Structure 1
Amino acid sequence: MHSVTNAIPTGTIASIPAKAHAHRALICAALATSPSTILLSRTSKDIDATMDSLRGLGAHVVYENKIVTVTSGPAPAKGNVVPHESGTTLRLLLPVAASICNDVDVDAKGRLPDRPLEPMLSEMKAHGVTFSQDKPPFTMTGHLQGGQFSMVGDVSSQFFSGLLLAAPQIGLSTITSTTPLQSSDYVTLTTETMRNFGVEVEHTLPDTDINEAFTVPFGASFIGRDNYQIEGDWSNAAIWMVAAGMTGRPITITGMNKNSVQADRRIMQVMIDAGCDVIWDGMNVTVTGRASKPIHADLEQMPDMLPVMAALACSISGESAFVKGARLRLKESDRLVAVANLVRDLGGTVREDGDDLYIIGSGILKGGQGDCVNDHRLVMAGTLMALISENPVTLKDSEAITKSYPDFFEDWNLLGGNAQPV
């Protein structure tokens, strides 16, 4: 547990590497025909899970001095995928592993075994792969075959990304969404990263918003990259942007890409719409001014932003609305329920309406103990809520932050905040 007071952070902080970008770059590098070096200033449990799993699939992956050296290796007789609690690792690497190994053991921990793998498993079964059972731990056997893949687009975009990353190893393949593709920015991040490593993906976007298709041509192969830079992470930069908006004390985040395709770059517009100023200077972004206008956010394309936006909403007088959050029920926790409970536990007012959440902010919370339900993004939200709390906030399961941002509390204190283990 950690106890967080309302001491205000301000100043300048370096961005941490984008977890979503790092997963994809590491996989491309492990499949490439030549070695790669990837510049990665920090790691996390989720990124470590991907590196460990790539080693289990025969790649040589060495992380030293903020550089990852990756060289493909021969596929082992029996592969091993160890995602721990990383849904991204699991979903991206299931088809990738089946594209290079005929026999793979897959494990998972925490809530991950119960998070959905359909319809991707059914498509893999239809293309030559069998599973010892339908949720991990399981053993996959058989080599994934190329061809036509079709899936609904409203469960997880990671299914599409995983099949795209596997496609160069299995021949001509087209992956089609039979319903509108949610979190499509993450698929764009996948195709851009694949392009950076030498594989062009043809994207067909029909006028109807369905049957969106991605085709990887026969004969495509990944090519290694030297000194490949991982972008700054918009998901975690959002913490600092929201902190500035809640307190009115400016914070600058360095090493960010204004033109990133990361889904959570949308937090910029949220801050502007809430009344803050977002100022760019090269790759540095500064948020100034206190947020004063209630938030109205569609969660379909940025579901991971709900927890920190909820904290921001608590600091703004009036009702903020967060709609279309159905997929948040399938995260590390049921985040709609977990966020609502956290707001209530710390003295805020919230109401739930189906998959929509409404927070009636007053600018102040009472503090107390909040349950982060082993969810790293709830840790971020609870820490931010302490900024407007009359009493310290005690965060249960605060160690969950190591999933994505192991040095978070150190960085928080570095900028003048006060978070201490208890």
Structure 2
Amino acid sequence: MKRRIEPTNQIDASLTLPGSKYLANRLVVIAALAENDVRLSNVVDNDDINAAIDGLSRLKYHLERSGDSVMSQPRSHALNRPTEVFTAHSGTFSRFVTAVAALESHLVRVVGSEKMNSRPMAELFDALEQLGVAIDSPNGQLPANITGPVTNYHCKVDGSKSSQYISALLLMAPRLNHEFVLELVGEEVSTQYIDMTVDLMRQFGIRVNKEGRQYRIEKQSSYQGKSLIIPPDPVSSSYFMAAAAINGGRIALETFDFDSLQGEAQFCKVLEAMGCLIERKGESLSVSRLGSLIAVDYDMGEMPDVVQTMAAVACFAEGTTIMRNIAHLAYKESDRIVDTATELQKLGANVEFGSDYLAVTGGAQLSGTDVDTYDDHRMAMSLALVGSRIPNVIINDANVVSKSFPNYFDKLAEIGIDSTIL
């Protein structure tokens, strides 16, 4: 499906957004493994979360969605036969369910989409093999056959490509009925996502101790039951902040998660440095721009999922905006360094890049054309922001947004950015 984005005038709108998929990805795993009932509210309805609910259900965990709620009950029967789990495009769920599958005595085959099957998994497989789990995989990628259970309880993991390996091992550890030690090697990336995992585990009754380069989880009962309302997603929020920055005017985001551990929740500070006015009013965050945007030089290591959003904003700033410390973006749904540069260059943007940075110089004469998404939801959403200012930007395969934000274009329309399906 193609969409042509219609340029807008100055924005003046308020918006409420669905719950964070980053929290939901972790919470559905915790809910499945819990020894009591769990109720999650404001759960985003997207491909990733639905794949997680379906995949965990195939492993005989009891999860049920009703509207924006997900309810779980303790699993009554262990897996009694080999089972296949399809993870679609979700890198997060692919890593998490691989670790959960290691708890089983029967073979679990984990299969992703063609794109997901090309993404790295070797570091997680290596850690699980240290734990006594048998892994049968081509080239350290999916599809993979996982045969547990875990028989050793101390492993090392390299988190330099993805923090999801670390989160996956931590999430499954409380079900081991044994003390578990996870030792980090290499320079881990996106550490705020590990902190998010640990924080959620603690909210559900698990003691996680960090000692230098080791995580230690004592032998203890599993996750406890709880009801929890998931706050809005900071990355989803970034697109609407950026829309106000690009077009001028104001956007008010209701019930913004000011307590989020996620690095992307600080994106508003990047926009502030670029010349936007940021105001907190109760639980609402307001972003407005009246003057010009100014280029910045920023370390994006702790907010990787808004790099493409920032690149779109940088096209309209005075000077060269440099986004640094982003090497791990090469291993996301697309190569988010090379592919983002390629598509912005199609539009006429002045872009340079290297293995660890992306630099966009604003002020170039942009013109609309067809742009590709590389099966990457964030590519589609970010490029649409350029189209909110430049006529005739057409997003190829725009429906890829269903991975994380199915009603993204409807929400854009709510703030005055319309689009046409071609």
Asked whether the two chains share a fold, i.e. TM above 0.5, the reply is: yes
Contact between 1:373 and 1:396, CA under 8 Å: does it hold in 2? no
Q: Which runs of 5+ in 1 are unaligned?
A: 207-211
Q: Which residue of 2 aligns with 1:20?
A: 22
CA-to-aligned-CA distance 1:77-106 (integer Å, 9 cap, x gap) = 134322111000011111112124532121
2:102 aligns to what SS in structure 1? helix
Aligned residues: 414
| Alpha carbons of structure 1 residues 154 and 239: separation in structure 2 relative to 1, 3 Å | same
Which runs of structure 2 are paired with 1:19-418 in the superposition (5 Å)? 19-73=21-75, 74-77=77-80, 78-134=82-138, 135-170=141-176, 171-204=178-211, 206=212, 212-226=213-227, 228-290=228-290, 292-362=293-363, 365-389=366-390, 391-418=391-418
State the alpha-carbon separation in 2 of the partners of residues 218 and 146 from structure 1: 14
Contact between 2:8 and 2:247, CA under 8 Å: does it hold in 1? no
State the alpha-carbon separation in 1 of the partners of residues 274 and 207 from structure 2: 39
Q: CA offset at residue 146 of structure 1? A: 4.4
State the alpha-carbon separation in 1 of the partners of residues 42 and 73 from structure 2: 16
2:329 aligns to what SS in structure 1? helix
Aligned partner of 1:213: which letter? Q
| Alpha carbons of structure 1 residues 25 and 41: separation in structure 2 relative to 1, 3 Å | closer
Contact between 2:16 and 2:255, CA under 8 Å: does it hold in 1? yes
Contact between 2:20 and 2:43, CA under 8 Å: does it hold in 1? no
Q: CA offset at residue 41 of structure 1? A: 4.8
Aligned partner of 1:198: which letter? G
State the alpha-carbon separation in 2 of the partners of residues 92 and 399 from structure 1: 25
Using structure 2 for the length normalisation, give the TM-score.
Answer: 0.94
Aligned partner of 2:272: which letter? I
Contact between 2:130 and 2:152, CA under 8 Å: does it hold in 1? no
Q: CA offset at residue 264 of structure 1? A: 0.9
Range that drifts further, 121-130 or 145-154: 145-154
| Alpha carbons of structure 1 residues 146 and 282: separation in structure 2 relative to 1, 3 Å | farther
State the alpha-carbon separation in 2 of the partners of residues 302 and 198 from structure 1: 28
2:226 aligns to what SS in structure 1? coil
Q: CA offset at residue 371 of structure 1? A: 1.0
State the alpha-carbon separation in 1 of the partners of residues 152 and 224 from structure 2: 20
Aligned partner of 1:13: which letter? L
Range that drifts further, 154-163 or 5-14: 5-14
Q: Which runs of 5+ in 2 are unaligned?
A: none
State the alpha-carbon separation in 2 of the partners of residues 395 and 341 from structure 1: 14
Q: CA offset at residue 364 of structure 1? A: 5.3
CA-to-aligned-CA distance 1:113-143 (integer Å, 9 cap, x gap) = 1111121101111212112224222221121
Contact between 2:60 and 2:79, CA under 8 Å: does it hold in 1? yes
Range that drifts further, 190-199 or 143-152: 143-152
The RMSD of aligned alpha carbons is 1.5
State the alpha-carbon separation in 1 of the partners of residues 264 and 273 from structure 2: 15
Contact between 2:348 and 2:364, CA under 8 Å: does it hold in 1? no
Q: CA offset at residue 7 of structure 1? A: 1.4
2:395 aligns to what SS in structure 1? strand
Identity across the alignment (%): 26
| Alpha carbons of structure 1 residues 179 and 104: separation in structure 2 relative to 1, 3 Å | same
2:165 aligns to what SS in structure 1? helix
Contact between 2:205 and 2:223, CA under 8 Å: does it hold in 1? yes
CA-to-aligned-CA distance 1:298-320 (integer Å, 9 cap, x gap) = 23222211110000000102111
Contact between 1:146 and 1:167, CA under 8 Å: does it hold in 2? no
State the alpha-carbon separation in 2 of the partners of residues 10 and 176 from structure 1: 49
Contact between 2:101 and 2:148, CA under 8 Å: does it hold in 1? no
State the alpha-carbon separation in 2 of the partners of residues 52 and 255 from structure 1: 29
| Alpha carbons of structure 1 residues 364 and 276: separation in structure 2 relative to 1, 3 Å | farther
Q: Which residue of 2 aligns with 1:209?
A: none
State the alpha-carbon separation in 1 of the partners of residues 208 and 279 from structure 2: 34
Q: CA offset at residue 189 of structure 1? A: 0.6
| Alpha carbons of structure 1 residues 136 and 421: separation in structure 2 relative to 1, 3 Å | same
